[in-house]
Structure 1
Amino acid sequence: MPMDDGAADRKPAGRESAPVSLWSMAVFALAPFPVAAAVYGYGPPSYAREAVTVLLTWSAVVLSFLAGVRWGLESGRRVPRRGRLAVSIGFALAAWVLLLVRWRFDLSWVLGAYLVVFMLQWLSDHAAPNTASRFPRLSTAVTSAACISLAIALDQSIRAGLKG
């Protein structure tokens, strides 16, 4: 069976709407972001450590998932672009490295770094030329939910002056 040379590249971004089932799965998959951010920022102080651990771990998981989606779309091309594949892996690695080193830095820096990685991931998917963006609104919603939740936690972390 011949491989497609990037059929997703042919359709202009923003024209293909994600099915309702994908939106439903995304809502459930994104639930840990606002729940963890709310518990960390506004819940009982005794749950703050666990909540921020969930938030940071889920950030690493979702960034790895998004990197895997990018890898899969790029790998579907007749000639995958090595640079784009490397960038995909870079985002996943950055996410897990941040999780592993979080205890060495102030939590505010770690949360800010995750915000930056999410935004760079989104920009690489949407602003770079000739990217195979499937369901761009869905990936924007995923990134927005993550970034808003991380920003809420960042605000609370700055106010509290806590370490990872």
Structure 2
Amino acid sequence: MTAARLPRLPLGLGLAGLLPFLALAGSAWLAPLAWQLVAIPAFLTYSAVILSFLGGVQWGVAMSLEPDDSAGFRRRLALSMAPSLIAWPALLLHPATGAWVLIAGFLVVRLHECGRTSRELLPTWYQSLRTLLTVVVVACHGLVIWRLAGG
């Protein structure tokens, strides 16, 4: 599925959500040093917020698409907490380590979304959009990690 076939509103909102990732990762490289010192923690904080948001998506899927007496409901609700439990502690770590932990969180969520039950419950356009967004988010994290390594 191509980006042109994605519903316009989710595509636009998803791309808008990438702007802080792109701007802050770019600032980590291009801004004056004093701004870089603000851009990197801001990047990590925004990343943690978005990762937590993805857990909320799974909570919503469980409430609206899983029978509330099913094992799938219980499992999805429990797993919906994982992104927040990954994101918040990542902010307490060294920035480079925290960025790696956040990458792992985004990839774990994406793997869960690619699982059979998620593919059955989530629209095809959502899968395409989330793949695009995850690739860009992980790449931005890579740029920040590279910068933190002295790149």
For Structure 1 versus Structure 2, the TM-score category normalised by the shorter chain is 0.7 to 0.9
2: CA distance, partners of 1:111 / 1:129 = 28
TM-score, normalised to structure 1's length?
0.78
With 73-82 and 29-38 compared, the bigger mean Cα shift is at: 73-82
Q: How does 1:1-164 map to 2 (within 5 A)?
A: 17-76=5-64, 77-79=66-68, 80-99=72-91, 101-102=92-93, 105=94, 107-126=95-114, 128-131=115-118, 132-134=121-123, 135-159=126-150
Q: CA deviation at 1:44?
A: 1.2
Structure showing greater relative contact order (alpha-carbon pairs closer than 8 Å, 6 or more residues apart) = 1
Q: Could you say what secondary structure the match of 1:159 adopts?
A: coil
CA RMSD of aligned residues (A): 1.8
Q: Percent identity?
A: 24
Q: Where in structure 1 are there 5+ consecutive unaligned residues?
A: 1-13
TM-score, normalised to structure 2's length?
0.84
Q: Where in structure 2 are there 5+ consecutive unaligned residues?
A: none
Q: Could you say what secondary structure the match of 1:78 adopts?
A: coil
Q: CA deviation at 1:38?
A: 0.7
Which structure would you say has the larger Rg? 1
1: CA distance, partners of 2:116 / 2:14 = 26
On the 8 A contact 1:64/1:95 being kept in 2, the answer is yes
Q: Could you say what secondary structure the match of 1:81 adopts?
A: helix
On the 8 A contact 1:67/1:89 being kept in 2, the answer is yes
State the Cα deviation string for residues 41-99 of structure 1 (Å, max 9, x = none): 23211111210122111111111111111111122222352122111111122112212
* Number of aligned residue pairs: 141
**Greater than 4 Å deviation, 4+ residue runs:** none
